[in-house]
Structure 1
């Protein structure tokens, strides 16, 4: 009879699960090999699992598995855990996993992948520790998933512990794994540690070089990133499009037009300009350096524009003070059938706010609801700022009042809006309300309040209104400051 062979073995250990408080006798597989008969892996239920495309379909297949007595088979248990994780139902995956007495390595690996993809990195790391305690050795993809999660969530301590496991498991010579370690440290803003790992690698490929260059560039070390590109060239490796895309934003951020033009020359000679992402990065660099005309020429020549390239153009013109052209580009983007994102809307609102274009600002506001962005706090903050700068503080206040989630930026925008429009008492009242709600002001908040008190005579306003309440507000804010 034909059969599949999976690597397994049994070893009994006692462990305390970091995820569950109950301790149990864990059986898992290490070296012994078992055979899965053909009637198991060729069963219609197994085929249905392979064809399953949704959580709803999976729920319909499970009764068939149970009815045919297949639920205790490792093949089905592993597949069920995998599919529940795939469809973001980690709770159901755990319900399948926990009762299994003879857990094999594949189950642990599948479950860890689920935690890494669908849960908090702390839960994933806790399960990783449980695996180690149960004697299950992690495989490469376990480690890379965790390293990625630690980097994206700035989990330095956990990232270092995973790095230690990389060393203990003899993966220091694996360029792919070590590149993930470099990336983790760079994402955690520990570029020095990232570089230490990088220089110790016995060999470095393009991905590894691009990772360390991007790490320095994204952490604000543009000069060092450029030096690494030069070092890369000296070692006989020509920067590829990914390298170029990594370095150009850093050049734009420091406004080094000379270096930017040199990179553009290299891009032209290498034929990389036809790569859409490279062209977009060039446009971004030139706009950040204030060269609108050069950026526009590259943009107009792009054969395939996308939302990102349009966003860069609109925001670039707005940041450089050409609000009319920024709004014109926004309208052209709509005319060309592109759906604006939150980034697009905020760039357009910035242009409307600084140019006092209330009518256009209200049009953009109407798009916010159509685009489903009314719960995007950053977009709503931009709307508040736009209405305040266009002298419609009443509309800004209405938006602020209806926001379910307010950030410090929301409060700052409203306070500054009141202050800039001469409504000092409202500005002070909102400042006091912040304190009542235990929202700590930042330097921007204090500058807004000080500017308001300096620019307008609250004492005169209190005297003219004959209100002692206004005088009390002034006394209160003076003591607070």
Structure 2
């Protein structure tokens, strides 16, 4: 029931009702029903307060019980997305680093969040570190992760990596083509001739 109510609060950005649910969960936790540590409810609470601009509350919920109970990837991802939606891209990446520190098994969903943060920061150096984690992961990168990598290298002007990524992608969609074209259009406007662009496409 609480998960459904919180989902409705998130959909309508209803901070007032969300706060009431949060207080109710805290009250029940004091009575021995530790629902506040339920990963689904915790993730939704973090998401709700984040989209309503209450990052300090979201962070408090995230950290509450973290050392004693740990947290599933979904809870970490909710916090990272919360930062990203509020343009706290560096904070989102710090969550990523904390996940590595806590030996949390990373999946495609979080890789895409971390890579998009790097895209917004235009930081290819640290982005390559995430790319390395993607390669080492037991989970095959999905379309979203591949597109995020393509976008990262395109935004940072790493054109050889753009071509390599695009060539090796098992599937391409509109986002893939937009990243490729946008990256080379940026290079074209920065002084690359049409002949160079055509040559690059043939390599």
TM-score grouping bracket, smaller chain normalisation: 0.7 to 0.9
| Aligned-residue offset at 1:183 | 1.0
User: More relative contact order in 1 or in 2 (CA 8 Å, sep 6+)?
Assistant: 2
Distance in 1, Cα, partners of 2:47 & 2:107: 18
1:263 pairs with 130, 145, 151, which one? Answer: 130
Change over 3 Å in CA distance of 1:142–1:226 after alignment to 2 = closer
Q: Is the 2:83–2:89 Cα contact (8 Å) retained in structure 1?
A: yes
What secondary structure, in the 3-state scheme, does the structure 1 residue paired with 2:37 have?
coil
Determine which structure has the larger strand proportion and give its number. 1
Change over 3 Å in CA distance of 1:218–1:313 after alignment to 2 = farther
Q: Is the 2:2–2:21 Cα contact (8 Å) retained in structure 1?
A: no
| Aligned-residue offset at 1:177 | 0.8
Distance in 1, Cα, partners of 2:64 & 2:145: 30
Q: Would you say how many aligned residue pairs link Structure 1 and Structure 2?
A: 185
Corresponding residue for residue 201 of structure 2: none
Corresponding residue for residue 239 of structure 1: 106
Distance in 1, Cα, partners of 2:168 & 2:47: 34
Corresponding residue for residue 186 of structure 1: 50
1:56-91 Cα distance to aligned partner (Å, 9 max, x none): xxxxxxxxxxxxxxxxxxxxxxxxxxxxxxxxxxxx
1:161 pairs with 1, 20, 29, which one? Answer: 20
Mapping of 1:364-443 within 5 angstroms?
A: none
1:247-297 Cα distance to aligned partner (Å, 9 max, x none): 111111112221011111221222556422211110111112122331222
Determine which structure has the larger helix proportion and give its number. 2
Distance in 1, Cα, partners of 2:184 & 2:28: 52
Change over 3 Å in CA distance of 1:160–1:271 after alignment to 2 = same
The answer as to 2:39 corresponding to 1:172 is no
Structure 2: runs of 5+ lacking an equivalent: 30-34, 199-203
1:292 pairs with 154, 159, 166, which one? Answer: 159
Distance in 1, Cα, partners of 2:132 & 2:177: 23
What secondary structure, in the 3-state scheme, does the structure 2 residue paired with 1:172 have?
helix
2:169 pairs with 302, 305, 310, which one? Answer: 302
Distance in 2, Cα, partners of 1:155 & 1:317: 43
Mapping of 1:50-449 within 5 angstroms?
A: 139-150=1-12, 154-168=13-27, 170=29, 171-201=35-65, 202-270=69-137, 274-318=141-185, 320-322=186-188
RMSD over aligned CA atoms reads 2.6
| Aligned-residue offset at 1:240 | 1.7
1:405-462 Cα distance to aligned partner (Å, 9 max, x none): xxxxxxxxxxxxxxxxxxxxxxxxxxxxxxxxxxxxxxxxxxxxxxxxxxxxxxxxxx
Distance in 2, Cα, partners of 1:143 & 1:203: 25
| Aligned-residue offset at 1:237 | 1.2
Change over 3 Å in CA distance of 1:316–1:148 after alignment to 2 = farther
| Aligned-residue offset at 1:302 | 0.8
